[in-house]
Amino acid sequence: MPIITTIRGNLRPTSAGLRFYTVEYLLVAGGGGSAGGGQSGYSGGPGGGGGLLSSSILVASNEIPLSVGAAGAAGIRNGDSGLSGGSGGNSTFSTLTAIGGGGGGGNGESISNTYGSGNAYAKDGGSGGGGGTYSGKGGAGVNGQGFKGGDSNSICCTAGGGGGAGSQGSSPSNTIGGVGGNGISNSLSGSAIIYAGGGTATGTSGAGNTPSGGTAGGSAGQTNTGRGAGGTSASAGLAGGSGIVIIRVPSNRTITSTGSLVSSLNSYGGYNAYSFTSGSGTISIL
């Protein structure tokens, strides 16, 4: 059986002609959408940040599968009830999967007469969505990728903050919406960007503070950051931020892609950093 030799920064062919390489990566899944608002200005829960993974991995150099998670869809109002926001799409690379952020919870009054239940649950995800008006529970996060969304309280008409990759979303402060969890800063692209924070909720006395790398109440998640959408009392919620996958290789190596993948290249400090901003397909390292 041939011996596979791997040296960082160089590709070594085996006797079978295979090539393996250690690459650095950042995977950020799509952020969750916020729920639609319910009757009388009841606040829909904000979205959770997309799951975040960052490290290095040994891969074969050819036809490595890769996909970028889409943004979680905005929730809607159904009669008197706001329904959950959509969860973000997963981002994948090789054997790795970052899980999409959970959609924010609405109030389920007309569905089951229990606020925060039925189709209005806050959804689990990479980071969980924020709990909707009247004691809605925040969604759970994935260990190692993100944190739980904040639970709502029993005071009309506020929601909990969406969870982030760096911290849990908070519960409301009386009638001020809960604060989203913080994101995590990463500079693999060549610039320090804070990814995958949760959305902040609105309340009858206003929205909570905007988290680091997260989204303000009443705002959609930023594209290619995996940030959860901010909460709103409007009939339609807001979309989360789409995800991103960044692969960094030494400057003497290039990456080609197939399928629908869209990417950009930044060369700096002896590295080539490829940022994949949408689509799915495979990549090969040359």
Whose CA is closest to 39, among 12, 79, 7, 4?
Answer: 79
Total domains present in the chain: 1
pLDDT of residue 205: 87
Range 43-60 average pLDDT: 94
**pLDDT tens, position by position, 123-147:** 999 999 999 887 788 999 999 999 9
Q: How much is the pLDDT for 109?
A: 44
What phi, psi does 67 have (nearest 5°)? -150, 150
| Mean pLDDT, rounded, for 197-215 | 91
Structural domain boundaries enclosing 39 = 1-286
Residue 20 has pLDDT above 70, yes or no: yes
For the chain, percent helix, then strand, then coil, each to nearest 5?
5, 25, 70
Average pLDDT over residues 99-113: 73
Quick one: pLDDT band at residue 158, thresholds 50, 70, 90?
A: confident
Q: Return the structure tokens found at 220.
A: 């959609």
* The two structure tokens encoding residue 237: 């919620």
Give the total residue count for the chain.
286
pLDDT of residue 157: 82
Nearest to 199 by CA among 174, 177, 216, 222: 216
